[in-house]
């Protein structure tokens, strides 16, 4: 009887350690994200299964060009994936199909070079948005079919969950992302 109880206790210990480990990793280090919709095509497609790094943005702020997963500000139970285009303290202007950024270092602004977009893709809208501290401007890569900062405005850093680091599915498109 005593050996049976010891065996049960050992199994319980293993299960508890496993559950605690999964809980800690899932809630503090990384979490899965399933892409839904066409707003990030051709770089991310609906059905892509991603791993989101939740640690990096505790150590440093998001950088331009990084793909972030965040809670939609108007409904935090909904998660979105978009690319960071404008950073805190900058002004984002969209005109003539292009994105321009101005900041203290470059008050006249510069044309944002977006090599991750398909050639010839234009960014619709006529927008001028200054960003305050902790505010970002995010856009989908599929500019014609993306509900992003052009529609609902600036993204406060408090809504950002993390950075897309790894695509696990589909298997033929497994990829680690470095920005």
- Tell me the catalytic residues: 39, 82
Q: Is the CB of residue 162 less than 8 Å from the CB of residue 57?
A: yes
Q: CB burial class (10 A; 0-12, 13-18, 19+) of residue 104?
A: exposed
Q: Is the CB of residue 82 less than 8 Å from the CB of residue 68?
A: yes
Task: Tell me the C-alpha distance between 174 and 57, whole Å.
Answer: 23
Q: Is the CB of residue 145 less than 8 Å from the CB of residue 45?
A: no
DSSP code for 16? H
- For 23-35, b where at least 16 C-beta lie within 10 A, e where not — what string? eeeeeeebbebeb
């Amino acid at each position: 009887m005593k050996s049976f109880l010891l065996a049960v206790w050992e199994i319980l210990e293993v299960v508890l350690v496993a559950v605690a480990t999964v809980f800690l990793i899932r809630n503090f280090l990384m979490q899965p994200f399933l892409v839904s919709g066409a707003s990030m095509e051709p770089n991310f497609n609906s059905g892509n299964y991603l791993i989101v790094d939740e640690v990096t943005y505790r150590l440093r702020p998001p950088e331009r060009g990084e793909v972030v997963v965040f809670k939609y500000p108007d409904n935090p139970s909904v998660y979105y994936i978009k690319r960071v285009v404008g950073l805190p303290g900058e002004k984002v202007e969209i005109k003539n199909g292009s994105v321009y950024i101005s900041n203290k270092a470059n008050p006249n602004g510069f044309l944002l070079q977006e090599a991750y977009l398909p050639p010839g893709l234009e960014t619709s809208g006529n927008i001028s948005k200054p960003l305050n501290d902790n505010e970002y401007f995010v856009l989908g890569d599929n500019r014609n079919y993306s509900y992003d900062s052009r529609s609902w405005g600036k993204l406060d850093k408090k809504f950002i969950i993390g950075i897309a680091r790894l695509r696990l599915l589909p298997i033929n498109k497994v990829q680690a992302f470095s920005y």
